[in-house]
Amino acid sequence: MKSKCFRDLSKDLWLASAERFHKRANFPHCVGAVNGKHIRIVKPTSSGSLYYNYKNYFSILLLAVCDSTYKFLFIDVGAYGKSSDSIVFRNTVLNNKLQDGTLDLPAPKQLSLSFERPTPFMLVGDEGFGMSKFILRPYGGKYLDIKKRVFNYRLCRARRYIECTFGILANKWRIFYRPLDVKLDVAESIVKTCCLLHNFVRDRDGIQFEDTVTIQGLQDMSPCLVRGGNIANGIREDFAYYFISPEGEVPWQLQKICVYLIEQNPSTSTVLIRVSKTCGQAPETHSHSHVTSGPGSPRLHSVLVLTSWCLAETPLHDSLSPV
């Protein structure tokens, strides 16, 4: 049954997964989404604080990679609860195969004809993972330019599949709603069995939307502050530029970013942006802004100026007073 529910990690499997991610999440060269979750357990005997996590309870860690059909491609179970995503991933068989080149990933290729440099196939993760040649994580920081915000939004759309997969797992197998009061080896076997049955049920029943709405019983792992090298950051930059290019953009991405910015500053600032599309005319920039700031509140740092042919971030001038 294991061989049927967990297929060998072959080049054909990675290519099929990347094609589905590109079709469903509009994210090219993504072979899977990776994340980790805490599985609650009763404190093991004579374990000290090894299994005590940053959320103040005892746990073992489930680190998993999934595809865009909410099926697990790889799992690693049993790491100490005090560990972070990056440390756990570094010690997995999957990472070892990535480092020595035996995972059989597809060869790098161009994102589009406009990008000459070949781009590798990669996993997508959250801030809990360090940047590497094999994992894409979001840009950090609060005041990001448009290119970085678009990248983070597009990455989030791909990464949500692993969150939904964990949600389906926890909602289907309610044993995760309470701490596992068994020996460690039995707890690991329970988690592995549930993941295997999860894949079996996905093959048999397909996707039930109501199972993906909430996640109970599983908690995120601690964040990581590891910085990537020049190669990893260069790869992320390539993706970021691709997502704002005519070949890689999606029509709704700027609207989503604007809504997010307004939601993050509901009481201190409001930005109303009019997007103008030019058809058969010379490109023109059209912007309309209305900025309000509460007493003592920080001014909004930039007004997003959206055009049919470019993206820019224009700073507010001191002469622009609150209305």
Do residues 239 and 119 lie in contact, with contact meaning Cβ atoms separated by under 8 Å?
Answer: yes
Identify which of 290, 283, 289 has the alpha carbon closest to the alpha carbon of residue 311: 283
Residues of the chain with pLDDT under 70: 207-228, 265-323
> What pLDDT shows up at residue 158?
95
* Residue ranges per structural domain of the chain: 2-243, 252-323
Q: What are the b/e assignments for 277-302, b being 16+ CB within 10 Å?
A: eeeeeeeeeeeebebebeeeeeebeb
> What pLDDT shows up at residue 108?
93
Q: What is the pTM of this model?
A: 0.76
C-alpha span between 36 and 131 (Å, rounded): 16
Which spans in the chain are helix H? 2-5, 11-25, 85-90, 93-100, 146-172, 184-205, 230-243, 253-264
> What pLDDT shows up at residue 210?
52
40-70: per-residue pLDDT in tens? Answer: 999 999 999 999 999 999 999 999 999 999 9
- State phi, psi for 165 to the nearest 5 degrees: -65, -45
> What pLDDT shows up at residue 216?
55
> What pLDDT shows up at residue 265?
67
Do residues 5 and 200 lie in contact, with contact meaning Cβ atoms separated by under 8 Å?
Answer: yes
C-alpha span between 321 and 166 (Å, rounded): 48
> What pLDDT shows up at residue 315?
37
C-alpha span between 62 and 195 (Å, rounded): 10
